Structure 1
Amino acid sequence: MAVNNREYLVLPRRLSRMREVLARRQKDLVLFMDRVRNEHNFSALIRTAEAVGVLRIIYGLVEGDRVPINEAVTQGAHRWVFLEETRNPAESLRRLREEGFQVVVTWLGAGTLDFREVDYTRPTVIVVGNEAEGVSPELLPMATHRIRIPMVGMVRSLNVSVATGIILYEAFRQREAAGLYEESRLSGSEMEEILRRWAYEDVIRERRR
């Protein structure tokens, strides 16, 4: 269904803000959450990813788990990204690699790079894992890079939402320096399709609640 500007159900100022935000969305920077179960972490990850322009977040949960979104933590950020559940994380990552994405996996084991050594201006999916166990072993063969955040303290790991925030903002820094936020990464038709959802379908859905 085509929707023109006169049919959008938001004020012009709101619509202008949506267009401004979409012009900076990075459709080739994807966050992949593997079995992140804590609702504060899950929600904080969404909020940080949205803040740096991530458009798409893929997540896999333990069977039977509900999507642990806490709206007090996301502050509405979950409304402005595409959340996609996967039942087969390894297959999802394999498809992303076939599409030309590098798969950057956080890992505390051997054979890792300093996270700052990765070129995040390339199409990139950042994979972060469960709070206690990290990324599932079956996902490691899908990695093009395994990364670590250097630490010099007695504790050798960070909370997953903190660690991911550090990595995402390194990606943001590199992409901003390369000018990737200066021109829209979305085509005109992609932008209009998202606006139809944000400024029309979602508004109707909210009114019916």
Structure 2
Amino acid sequence: MSKKESTIFGIYPVKEAIKANVTFDKVFIQKDLASDKLEAIEKELETENISVSHVPIEKLNRLTKGNHQGIVAITSPITFKTIEEVVEESLEKKTPSLFIILDQISDVRNFGAIIRTAECTGVDAIIVQKKGGAPVSGDTVKTSAGAIFNVPICKVDHIKDAIFYLQASNIITIAASEKTKQTIYNTDLTRPMAIIMGSEGKGVSKSVLHLVDEQAALPLLGEINSLNVSVACGAILYETVRQRNL
């Protein structure tokens, strides 16, 4: 598994990368650019279940100084797993399943910090949405202190689908939310479960909150009404470790 990520740009280089089965993290195509060749590449990407984001040309110009021809692809330093794979692997273990679901976490430093803590606390896998989240890049590798190579990362089309699949596999889904009186300290964290952490600005989305089995909060005793998401995730994971090792 390669530990380097790189940027590939231009129509033909991206086409060759697809043929070579390169693992992509993000693919950006210029918005409102009429091109039969780009449309053909996008169809190829859809066939390979690789998500594409349509962005302004300014975004592409920031990603590369070269002639991008309307397309820039960011390769991934890891190979992603499917949700079926990670759930099956977790159920084969003697310990209760433990997953983290990240609902639109966009800051790569928070993402890396969560991965690092997840590795230290025995998380089976981290589940993220294909679009809208932080990239899996060299910065992620650095901020995770290399832990990303030890924790499976699973990408799904929609967080909701992941929740339904986990629930069907008898895995409890618990959203971290300040909108409940139930705290993590009076929540049973010894069960097979997935913890959902929300975005830095909005928290867990309302549509996701309606689907989860339970919600749990961290007590906040100061004036500030929220914690950094990576700090909150760490607190919940170590309470999980505490409960499971009583």
TM-score (norm 2): 0.58
- Does residue 116 (structure 1) correspond to residue 116 (structure 2)? The answer is no
**Corresponding residue for 2:136?**
67
The letter for the 2-side match of 1:29 is: L
> What is the CA–CA distance in structure 1 between the aligned matches of 2:122 and 2:148, rounded to whole Å?
12
> What is the CA–CA distance in structure 1 between the aligned matches of 2:141 and 2:111, rounded to whole Å?
11
- Does residue 89 (structure 1) correspond to residue 159 (structure 2)? The answer is yes
- Does residue 144 (structure 1) correspond to residue 213 (structure 2)? The answer is yes
SS of match in other structure, 1:113: coil
SS of match in other structure, 1:157: coil
Question: Is the contact between residue 101 and residue 124 of structure 1 (CA under 8 Å) also seen in structure 2?
Answer: yes
1:118, CA displacement in angstroms? Answer: 1.2
Identity within the alignment, %: 31
1:9-158 residue pairs with structure 2 within 5 A?
26=95, 28-60=97-129, 62-63=131-132, 66-67=135-136, 69-109=139-179, 111-158=180-227
Question: Is the contact between residue 99 and residue 124 of structure 2 (CA under 8 Å) also seen in structure 1?
Answer: yes
Give CA-to-partner distance per residue, 1:39-96, whole Å, 9 cap, x none. Answer: 1000000000110111211012544863355222111100011100111111110110
1:27, CA displacement in angstroms? Answer: 6.1
Q: Which has the larger radius of gyration?
A: 2
Give CA-to-partner distance per residue, 1:165-209, whole Å, 9 cap, x none. Answer: 0000000111122xxxxxxxxxxxxxxxxxxxxxxxxxxxxxxxx
> What is the CA–CA distance in structure 2 between the aligned matches of 1:151 and 1:65, rounded to whole Å?
27
**Corresponding residue for 2:27?**
none
> What is the CA–CA distance in structure 1 between the aligned matches of 2:110 and 2:134, rounded to whole Å?
15
Question: Is the contact between residue 26 and residue 54 of structure 1 (CA under 8 Å) also seen in structure 2?
Answer: no
> What is the CA–CA distance in structure 2 between the aligned matches of 1:64 and 1:40, rounded to whole Å?
12
Q: CA RMSD in A?
A: 2.1
Count of matched residue positions in the alignment of Structure 1 and Structure 2 = 154
Question: Is the contact between residue 105 and residue 134 of structure 2 (CA under 8 Å) also seen in structure 1?
Answer: no
Query: Which aligned runs of 4 or more in structure 1 are off by greater than 4 angstroms?
Result: 24-27
> What is the CA–CA distance in structure 2 between the aligned matches of 1:64 and 1:146, rounded to whole Å?
22
Question: Is the contact between residue 37 and residue 61 of structure 1 (CA under 8 Å) also seen in structure 2?
Answer: no
1:186-205 residue pairs with structure 2 within 5 A?
none
Structure 1 residues 63 and 166, CA, compared in 2 at 3 Å: closer, same or farther?
closer
TM-score (norm 1): 0.68
> What is the CA–CA distance in structure 2 between the aligned matches of 1:175 and 1:126, rounded to whole Å?
15
